[in-house]
Structure 1
Amino acid sequence: MTLWNASLPLTILEAKGLTVDIPTEDGVVHAVRNVSFSIRPGSIFGIAGESGSGKSVLTQAVMGLLPNADIRGEVWFEGRNLLSLPQSDMRRLRGGRIGMVFQDPLSSLHPFYTIGAQIAEVLHAHETIDREAARARVIDMLGKVGIPSPAERFDSYPHQFSGGMRQRVMIAMALILNPALIIADEPTTALDVTVQAQIIDLLDTMRRDFGTTIILITHDLGLLSSVADDVMVMYAGNRLEYGPARNVFRSPAHPYTAGLLRSTPASYAPGAQLVPIKGRPPSLLATPAGCIFAPRCSEQLADCTKQRPPLRVYSDGVESLCLLEPRTAPPSLAGAAETIEVKTTPSEQIARIEDVRLTYHAGSFFGQKRTLEVLKGIDLTIARGETVGLVGESGCGKSTLARIVAGLTPATSGKINVLGHDMSHLKGREWREMRRQIQLVFQDPFGSLNPRRRVGAIIGDPFRLHGVAAGEERREKVRHLMEMVGLNPEHYNRFPAEFSGGQRQRIGIARALALNPALIICDEPVSALDVSIQAQVLNLLKELQRELGLTYLFISHDLSVVRHICDRIAVMQGGKIVELASSEQIFANPQHSYTRTLLSASKTLSVADDDGVARSLIETRQVTA
């Protein structure tokens, strides 16, 4: 937590009744509704909530980046109301006093300009400075954010950096003018756990060294619980809970916050049935008479749908917009002990991978042929009915190995045997039959679906391509698959854009199940989903495995997800499997130093560990207003 300095002002940013309405063709979207908060200087202020809750829109309104929106209320920063400032003054504040770190550093950096030139542009826009002085300051800042050989990397292009390095470049760009406030919008999403830890440590170091205040927007509750001083939980544009992060996460006041925590796999024993938040977020076009969360609330009262909930202020500084007077039960009480039966080790092997290697030819350099060895002798078996996890940093070869197993990329050497067939000897019709036995579920549930085709056609494609069923028989099979994965069969003729992210992932799972495959490869299937939707998809995968005897090869960078769903885990580093053991052995007694590094870098939240603390907080907390 941040040490308080009496010489600092009480707040650096304060919002009062901030409301953002965005006109669209379908009507007015009420993106932010009467939100108030204050941020202490030098602190990390976390904003959490599901997609569409208004987190990013709120900060964009603060930055003056919503020119067509109707923004009301007050936002005070360094004695000035940002909502009433002329655009010329806001342009000077952006970058100068308020910096921004965006979620996707690759799309935020121009591919045609060097990273040094792009950071220097910020200096030239706000200061009168010559090229050499700007270059020196940029190189100094690149060194401070941990870019190796900063003088040499000044002239590098964005594509020559890894995801973590590009995010460091964005942080350097935000810090180059030493702003008082930095807004980091999902800065660690889709990054490996070690890179996530590096980025968060870097932001914390910058906070300590420069006194910078940080607004951290994320759906990773475990991350917020470990670094945030204060937190605001948003839902459908409303602020539902607000207060010191430690108190909010250990004993949530609002059922929505408790529901988010209950959806996190880290709050459960491995294999337990997760308890997600039911339903889906409401339309932001409507304005309900009662509590916005009431339709999804497991503790709904009779008056919740009729009247606006009051603001309750508790003795420990937590504020909640809820009719419930008592604090809600701690998340660890929700089925954490309801574990699924432990499976015995199956004897039948679905896949056997022996000494698989993959080498790419990288052209010539001064007449010398260069090669890149991606996989360096992989040995792995996958038994029927089990889930084998693949973890490791980006570039270690996880997805490459999955593509080789799926037959999409040929191996340079080694042997891959699936269902007793040597993959290297398959030809023609044999290959076509093998493709029925191995299916994939991709990371991006929208990018992997054709937006111009209806869902029924997408799910029915495997039947059509393999000549399994046609006409009414195919439609019945597709509707059966939709029902099996929790989709409404009546939505057969809808397009992917008409479904939520979690529903689109269910469409991908239904398509993978169509031909009853022997092996399903799940490549980061829940990394882009909110925790509540993630819990629904993980429950679905476990349920389908029990009912259909499915076998999964599961790739993920989220160690809490891997521990929850996998029987065994293979840890990859530099194209090799450095450790392979049961999930519990990996987490309880890791043998390899790299495995220990991954585990130490993982920012996970385990409410069950603090159950006693949570109970005592509930018992002693009192409503003060």
Structure 2
Amino acid sequence: MTILEAKGLTVDIPTEDGVVHAVCNVSFSVRPGSLFGIAGESGSGKSVLTQAVTGLLANAEIGGEVLFEGRNLVGLPQEEMRRLRGGRIGMIFQDPLSSLHPFYTIGAQIAEMVHAHEKVSAAEARARVIDMLGKVGIPSPADRFDDYPHQFSGGMRQRVMIAMALILKPALVIADEPTTALDVTVQAQIVSLLDAMRRDFGTTVILITHDLGLLSSVADDVMVMYAGHRLEYGRAADVFRRPAHPYTAGLLRSTPASYRPGTELAPISGRPPSLLATPAGCVFAPRCAEALPRCSNEPPPLRLYSDGVESLCWLEEGAGKARPAAKAVAAPVQAVAAEPVAEIEDVRLTYQIGSFFGPKRSLDVLKGIDLTIGRGETVGLVGESGCGKSTLARIVAGLTPATSGRVRVLGRDMGALDARQWREMRQQVQLVFQDPFGSLNPRRRVGAIIGDPFRLHGIASGEARRAKVRELMEIVGLNPEHYNRFPSEFSGGQRQRIGIARALALNPGLIICDEPVSALDVSIQAQVLNLLRRLQRELGLTYLFISHDLSVVRHVCDRIAVMQGGRIVELETAERLFAAPQHPYTKTLLAASKTIPVFEEKERRSLVETRLQVAS
């Protein structure tokens, strides 16, 4: 019995460059009351597939069948599809702030969903909305009904989106990356909430995510997509413990949680193919370490295994070992008392908030921070949103003045510098931002972007500057021949390398990495983390590393500072912190972190059936 079943689903999207084959002959079924996971890198077709199911791709050419409660959604008139959306099928989007209208209260927006599908009074709709807000964990829901989206935190806004999706008690809810930008504790709350709603209302959930640890902990069934194709499909426990397809195994190999700290990660080489042309053979063959000669020119068959896992692959015995032992790389040798690069002493920051004419009150953001970062060291900052991590980083970088306390970088007091000294100090502290595309000017060429530090500080010009930029591009793994390309012509991982090259230009004493890999797929994330560690070994760099992904922090950091409410509540070496956390808040963070199940070599699956695929 299934609530949703796709048969040979194809989605072609006409563009100026040609037809994009976004989804190619994908079939799957979702059991009622289950949590069905869809995983894969960006551009694999995950979101396009669910948008096609819900009728949100107006100009796309959709083929095949999508049966929802026995009714084919493909070709359904828009009026009927609108009645299904919200009423029987709910949607939870990745960015709740952009999904909620800033001019309307959250209560009015949820009530609008009720009025669009049912004839009820305003009082009844309000009562239902308040009840649902309470069920999704919004405190004092009656009081928050008339609040606006900007008055809620990221986690609370996501709860509002869940309330909106569940207000009509739909049979199916599609959650598209609902926890990507959230801290581990908030992420755990949202996932727990979705699971509770599934039990209480019998709602079926389709969860789209690139967080394999999260998916392995909650999903019943999982489908792994790549370049619009379904490469692996089966029960989540079987897929993650014994991946049958090399692509799934490659994703697992790329995850830092699968390695000992300090070891080299093994990312998937290359990049996804263009979707404008359908390849003759396996779409993953150009990046596959286990590819056979026939993989490049013959479409792979569908392999069915004894545990129910299905894999679109020529390998009869499935993929090799999911996470082989990685080659250990020696971490930077730390002296007993390394020369301090940054010294933070009793730093406090207080804001005065309130209306212009009304009374003001004080808000303490940082409440006495003490931290020393030694040369060649990586110190991690972890904690929930609003704890002061990024604010502290801005103070260290000199972008925000502290209310009191002292910050010394390379022995110089940041608060006592004149204009000339401050300009010199700007060379010593550089930042790598979370969003590589948002931090690069889309109208300027990459060579000019990386060369800006040399231009602004008058260090090099003309051919000398171009030579330095090309050298930096080679150091971070970019092709110097792409000097004149624009940021839009690079992948997400390559754009992050551009940001790293720009940060390295002036040989800084300290680099602040503010969530540098949180928006990247696990395979690209592994490439960037390897690059950061290699550059640290070769150039003796010092990092202040901010992240909400604890597996990433553990892998790259020598010491970790845990922040809560504007204070550092625990500071310890990475291994000691994870092995024996002392503060209750640290224990809460670690308990909320999701890890991937250990690969099992016992009880190897056997091949049951091979089906030749018909080209779509």
Shared fold, TM over 0.5: yes
Cα displacement (A) at 1:329: 2.3
Question: Which residue among 432, 437, 442 is the counterpart of 1:451?
Answer: 442
CA contact (8 A) 2:332 2:377 kept: no
Is the counterpart of residue 309 in structure 1 residue 300 in structure 2? yes
Cα displacement (A) at 1:339: 4.4
For residues 334 and 186 of structure 1, the distance between their equivalents in structure 2, rounded to whole angstroms, comes to 30
Within 5 Å, give how 1:240-255 maps onto structure 2.
240-255=231-246
What's 1:590 paired with?
581
For residues 331 and 290 of structure 1, the distance between their equivalents in structure 2, rounded to whole angstroms, comes to 23
Is the counterpart of residue 80 in structure 1 residue 71 in structure 2? yes
Is the counterpart of residue 284 in structure 1 residue 270 in structure 2? no
Q: Give 2:128's aligned amino acid.
A: R
Cα displacement (A) at 1:429: 1.2
CA contact (8 A) 2:428 2:510 kept: yes
CA contact (8 A) 1:262 1:334 kept: no
Question: Which residue among 147, 157, 176 is the counterpart of 2:148?
Answer: 157
Q: Give 1:325's aligned amino acid.
A: E
CA contact (8 A) 1:443 1:523 kept: yes
Within 5 Å, give how 1:577-616 maps onto structure 2.
577-605=568-596, 607=597, 610-611=598-599, 614-616=600-602
CA contact (8 A) 1:269 1:339 kept: no
Cα displacement (A) at 1:602: 0.8
Cα displacement (A) at 1:529: 0.3
Q: Give 1:120's aligned amino acid.
A: A
Cα displacement (A) at 1:367: 6.3
Within 5 Å, give how 1:425-444 maps onto structure 2.
425-444=416-435
What's 1:7 paired with?
none
Cα displacement (A) at 1:17: 0.2
Cα displacement (A) at 1:255: 0.4
Deviations 1:310-334 (A, max 9, x none): 0000000000000011122232214
- 1:91 is paired with a residue of what secondary structure? helix
CA contact (8 A) 2:282 2:295 kept: yes
What's 1:172 paired with?
163
For residues 58 and 267 of structure 1, the distance between their equivalents in structure 2, rounded to whole angstroms, comes to 29
Question: Which residue among 57, 66, 70 is the counterpart of 2:48?
Answer: 57
CA contact (8 A) 1:289 1:305 kept: yes
For residues 431 and 81 of structure 1, the distance between their equivalents in structure 2, rounded to whole angstroms, comes to 65
Within 5 Å, give how 1:76-475 maps onto structure 2.
76-335=67-326, 338-341=328-331, 343-345=333-335, 347-363=338-354, 368-475=359-466
Q: Give 1:340's aligned amino acid.
A: A
For residues 356 and 20 of structure 2, the distance between their equivalents in structure 1, rounded to whole angstroms, comes to 56
Deviations 1:470-510 (A, max 9, x none): 00000000000001000000000000000000000000000
For residues 617 and 468 of structure 1, the distance between their equivalents in structure 2, rounded to whole angstroms, comes to 63
CA contact (8 A) 2:35 2:220 kept: yes
Cα displacement (A) at 1:366: 9.3
CA contact (8 A) 2:249 2:323 kept: no
For residues 538 and 332 of structure 2, the distance between their equivalents in structure 1, rounded to whole angstroms, comes to 15
- TM score, norm. by length of structure 1: 0.96
CA contact (8 A) 2:316 2:607 kept: no
- 2:223 is paired with a residue of what secondary structure? strand
For residues 342 and 163 of structure 1, the distance between their equivalents in structure 2, rounded to whole angstroms, comes to 36
What's 1:5 paired with?
none
Is the counterpart of residue 534 in structure 1 residue 535 in structure 2? no
For residues 329 and 198 of structure 1, the distance between their equivalents in structure 2, rounded to whole angstroms, comes to 35
CA contact (8 A) 1:163 1:191 kept: yes
CA contact (8 A) 1:270 1:339 kept: no
Q: Structure 1: which 5+ runs fail to align?
A: 1-9
Cα displacement (A) at 1:428: 1.5
For residues 470 and 556 of structure 1, the distance between their equivalents in structure 2, rounded to whole angstroms, comes to 36
- TM score, norm. by length of structure 2: 0.98
Aligned length: 609
For residues 492 and 7 of structure 2, the distance between their equivalents in structure 1, rounded to whole angstroms, comes to 32
What's 1:39 paired with?
30
Deviations 1:234-257 (A, max 9, x none): 000000000000000001000000
Cα displacement (A) at 1:621: 3.2
What's 1:4 paired with?
none
Question: Which residue among 586, 603, 607 is the counterpart of 1:622?
Answer: 607
For residues 12 and 548 of structure 1, the distance between their equivalents in structure 2, rounded to whole angstroms, comes to 56
For residues 575 and 347 of structure 2, the distance between their equivalents in structure 1, rounded to whole angstroms, comes to 27
CA 582–163 in structure 1, closer or farther in 2 if over 3 Å, else same: same
Q: Give 1:483's aligned amino acid.
A: E
For residues 165 and 491 of structure 1, the distance between their equivalents in structure 2, rounded to whole angstroms, comes to 43
Q: Give 1:188's aligned amino acid.
A: T
For residues 607 and 229 of structure 2, the distance between their equivalents in structure 1, rounded to whole angstroms, comes to 23
Q: Give 1:616's aligned amino acid.
A: K
Within 5 Å, give how 1:551-562 maps onto structure 2.
551-562=542-553
Cα displacement (A) at 1:363: 3.2
Percent pairwise identity = 79
Q: Give 1:260's aligned amino acid.
A: L
CA contact (8 A) 2:334 2:377 kept: no
Q: Give 1:478's aligned amino acid.
A: V
For residues 486 and 304 of structure 1, the distance between their equivalents in structure 2, rounded to whole angstroms, comes to 28
Cα displacement (A) at 1:100: 0.3
Q: Give 2:328's aligned amino acid.
A: E
Cα displacement (A) at 1:342: 6.2
For residues 27 and 536 of structure 2, the distance between their equivalents in structure 1, rounded to whole angstroms, comes to 46
For residues 361 and 297 of structure 2, the distance between their equivalents in structure 1, rounded to whole angstroms, comes to 70
- 1:372 is paired with a residue of what secondary structure? strand
Cα displacement (A) at 1:91: 0.7
- 2:295 is paired with a residue of what secondary structure? coil
CA contact (8 A) 1:250 1:330 kept: no
Deviations 1:343-400 (A, max 9, x none): 3335211011000000011136996531111000000000000100000000000000
Cα displacement (A) at 1:180: 0.3
- 1:615 is paired with a residue of what secondary structure? coil
